[in-house]
Amino acid sequence: MLSTLFSTQKARPIHDRIEDDVNTKLRLKYDPFYHTVDAVEGLHLQVEGKKMLMMSSNEYLGLSQHPKVVAASQEAAATWGTSSCGSRLANGSRGYHRELEEEMAAFLGTEACHVIVAGYLACQGSLAALARRGDALIVDKSIHSSLWDGAQLSGADIERFTHGDMASLRTLLESLSPTQPKLIAVDGVYSMEGHLAPVPELVELSQKHGAFLLVDDAHGFGVFGKQGRGVCDHFGANGKIDLIVGSFSKSLASTGGFMAGSKATIDYLRTSCRQIIFSAALTPPAAASSLAALRVMQAEPQHQERLLANSSYYRQLLDEAGIDYWESPTPAVPIVIGNKEKCYLVWKALWDAGFFTVMSIAPGVPAGKDLIRTAVSALHQKEELERFVETLKAACKKAGVSLKK
């Protein structure tokens, strides 16, 4: 009877996969992620009863609690409510969408812009809609996962070139048929490595081979270029990028994403991009806070100036301490440990000392590049950066991490 019962039970492979997942078990055992922040004042957090300093936030300009940004969000909710409760195709655009899009397009020097509920969807949706079966979708191996998802959804032939290596890209382009439609997708700033895309060379190669060029500037917008216009402006490539996509959740201290390019490109995306068509629209508070932060960014240059000064000082401290930061020239600064176990030990020592960071290990990063991801903000004080680097250096030594001489 019992043998009959057990033999007739159906296999549950998905359930078993979930319950036996090694990565989930390791995450729950070592508990490095998903901690609850109970209160926040600038970069100072209260985390499960513990006072901590945020050292890994993407709030580059420190505007999430700026009075003008907070007031704009509150006023928008009072005027428009909390949501339009549907997609713009189904429920119509709102005035706050158009206002934000017009100011974003003017700021970036593009003909048009579309704003969407998440930066991830801006990246994913644009690639999924622009590339199609039979096209060559050419990507840097280190692009953000949102671009990878969009590339896979497109059905195009995905071709990879070595990270940041324009000789590798050139060879790849020359190997493809001249008649095959081509789209090149890169990050403006690679958030894990902190590297800048070589935009001038990308423009040259894309024009030479008739390729559409897309740049995800989520981590460059607000940081580089005149008044924070981003990596493309930083390299003088205004008007030479076919589509710039990005996020409002970094420098603009809100949520949402954008796609900025020619009017024809934006109209095409509004027709063809499923992430636009079927996603609920950007909420009134998110749109209003993004627009307010965009205006603050232009009116108060001291935030960008302080961010760049802090980034430079932080790199100087890391150089003096002999710590490997992958030569990042940006506020996104990886602390390369190079070993999973040592990476955890360093992260845990920083946590215990009151510093909130995040670790990333292989396969999330290349083998031998296991790292602690840190990010600098305009809100950081010099003494806070000094204290962090001192603690980091001691933690690296204790964990057996080799330091540069």
132 phi/psi in degrees, rounded to 5: -145, 175
Comparing CA positions, the residue from 350, 334, 354 lying closest to residue 391 is 350
Res. 404 pLDDT band, cuts 50 70 90:
confident
Is 2's pLDDT higher than 70?
A: no
Tokens of 286: 């998110």
> Among all chains, which residue has been given the structure tokens 């909130």?
356
pLDDT the model gives residue 8: 61
189-190 vs 195-196, strand pairing mode: antiparallel
pLDDT the model gives residue 100: 98
pLDDT the model gives residue 122: 98
pLDDT the model gives residue 279: 97
pLDDT the model gives residue 3: 56
- Percent of the chain residues past pLDDT 70, beyond the cut: 98
Tell me the pLDDT tens digit for each residue of 112-142: 999 999 999 999 999 999 999 999 999 999 9
pLDDT the model gives residue 370: 93
Class of domain 67-299: alpha beta
Contact in structure between 215 and 244 (CB atoms under 8 Å):
yes
Q: Which residue ranges make up each domain of the chain? A: 26-55+301-399, 67-299
**CATH code of domain 26-55+301-399:** 3.90.1150.10
Tell me the pLDDT tens digit for each residue of 209-235: 999 999 999 999 999 999 999 999 999
The model's pTM: 0.95
Tell me the pLDDT tens digit for each residue of 244-268: 999 999 999 999 999 999 999 999 9
pLDDT the model gives residue 12: 93
Cα separation, 403 vs 405, whole angstroms: 6
Tell me the pLDDT tens digit for each residue of 8-43: 678 899 999 999 999 899 899 989 999 999 999 999
Contact in structure between 399 and 342 (CB atoms under 8 Å):
yes
- Burial of 5-24, coded b for 16+ CB within 10 Å and e otherwise, reads eeeeeeeeeeeeeeeeeeee
pLDDT the model gives residue 4: 55
Mean pLDDT of 153-158: 98
> Among all chains, which residue has been given the structure tokens 């940081």?
223
Res. 362 pLDDT band, cuts 50 70 90:
confident
Mean pLDDT of 38-50: 96
Is 367's pLDDT higher than 90?
A: no
Cα separation, 360 vs 346, whole angstroms: 12
Tell me the pLDDT tens digit for each residue of 168-222: 999 999 999 999 999 999 999 999 999 999 999 999 999 999 999 999 999 999 9
pLDDT the model gives residue 6: 56
Tell me the pLDDT tens digit for each residue of 73-126: 999 999 999 999 999 999 999 999 999 999 999 999 999 999 999 999 999 999
Contact in structure between 267 and 298 (CB atoms under 8 Å):
no
**Which residues sit opposite 186 in a β-bridge?**
215
Contact in structure between 341 and 312 (CB atoms under 8 Å):
no
pLDDT the model gives residue 7: 55
Is 277's pLDDT higher than 90?
A: yes
